[in-house]
Structure 1
Amino acid sequence: MSEINYPIKGSCQCGQVTYQLFAAPLMVAACHCRQCQKLSTSAFSITAVVNVTDIEFSGKMSDWSRLADNGNTNGAKFCPGCGNRIYHFNPSYPDKIKLKPSTLEDTRVIQPSMHIWTSEKQAWFKLPKDLPSYEKQPF
C-alpha cells in the first residue's frame, strides 16, 4: 500500500459538509452493536477515533443524540441536506470525535484495529483472528 498523504479531504454525499483530516486516526474500530447495524444498514459500522485538533469541518451540520447502554451520551453530527452521518461524539470527551471514515476521499485509512460489540454481531460474519475483539465496549 502506498503512503497516505495528509490532509485528506472528506464530504457528505451532497457536498454541503466538507472537511479535512490532517493526521492519521488514533484507532479504527468495526462496531457490531445493533445501533451501528441500523446506522450502516450493514453488519457493522466503521469508526475512526481522531483528535478534534486534527480535523477541520466546513458547512452546517445538524445533530442528534441518544443515551448509550453504558450511560454515556452518543451524539451524532450529520448533513441536514442528505442526512449523511459525519461523526459521533461523547460530550464527556470533547477532545476526541468518532469520524465515519467512509466519507473520506482516500479510504485507505479504513484499516480496523479492533472489533467491538461482537456479542451483537451477525451470526454469518466471521471475525478475523489477527485483530482483538471485544464482546462489549472496551473503553
Structure 2
Amino acid sequence: MTDLSDLSAYTNNPVPLPITGGCACGALRYSIDAQPLIALQCHCVYCQKISGTGHGCFVVTPGEAATTTGEAREFTYVADSGGTSFRYFCPQCSAMVFAKLSRHPETFVVAAASLDDRENYRPSVTVFAKEATSWDPPAPGLTLFTEGLG
C-alpha cells in the first residue's frame, strides 16, 4: 500500500479513541483502539453498486486494533484491484458496516456512515477516480488516484 502518512488527514489531527460504530439497528458493532490510517472515497463499480450511489466512503484502520460484536453476513468478490474484498453486512438491517481486503490484510475498513461520530470521517483521497460517473464526480480538494492505493 502507498505510504499514507503524507496523505492522511489524521497524521497531525487525531480523533478521540476508541472509534466506534455499527449498523442501523445496532446488532453489529465495532470498536477501534487506534488512529485511522486514512479516509477515502472509492468510485469503483462495486462500491457504486453496493452503496447504491456514485461512490463508497471508508475509514481505513489498523486491523489488530479492531474488535467486533454481533453477527455479520459476508459478501466476497474479486475487486477492481484484482484482490478479494470481503464486505460485512448486518443480517438484520442489511447495512454494510466493515470490510477486509486480501491485498491489505493488516487493515480493517469501516463504512463512514457506520461511524457513531461521523465527523471522524475526514477523506483526503479518491481511489478509482477513472470510474467516477459524471453525476457523482470526485470531491474537490482530494488527492486522486485513477486506480487503488496499491
CA distance in 1, matches of 2:103, 2:15: 31
State the match for 2:8 in structure 1. Answer: none
State the match for 1:113 in structure 2. Answer: 124
Q: Per-residue CA shift, 1:18-66, capped at 9, x if unaligned? A: 1212222101110011211111111211111111122211111121101
Give the aligned length: 138
Larger displacement relative to structure 2 (62-71 or 40-49) = 62-71
CA distance in 2, matches of 1:40, 1:64: 13
TM-score (normalised: structure 1): 0.87
State the match for 1:29 in structure 2. Answer: 40
State the match for 1:68 in structure 2. Answer: 79
CA distance in 1, matches of 2:140, 2:71: 41
CA distance in 2, matches of 1:110, 1:133: 17
Q: Runs of 4 or more off by more than 4 Å in structure 1?
A: none
CA distance in 2, matches of 1:131, 1:29: 9
Is the 1:24–1:109 Cα contact (8 Å) retained in structure 2? no
1:44 to 55, 73, 90: 55
1:19 to 30, 33, 47: 30
- 5+ residue gaps, structure 2, are 1-13
1:6 to 3, 14, 17: 17
CA distance in 1, matches of 2:100, 2:37: 15
State the match for 1:55 in structure 2. Answer: 66
- 5+ residue gaps, structure 1, are none
TM-score (normalised: structure 2): 0.82
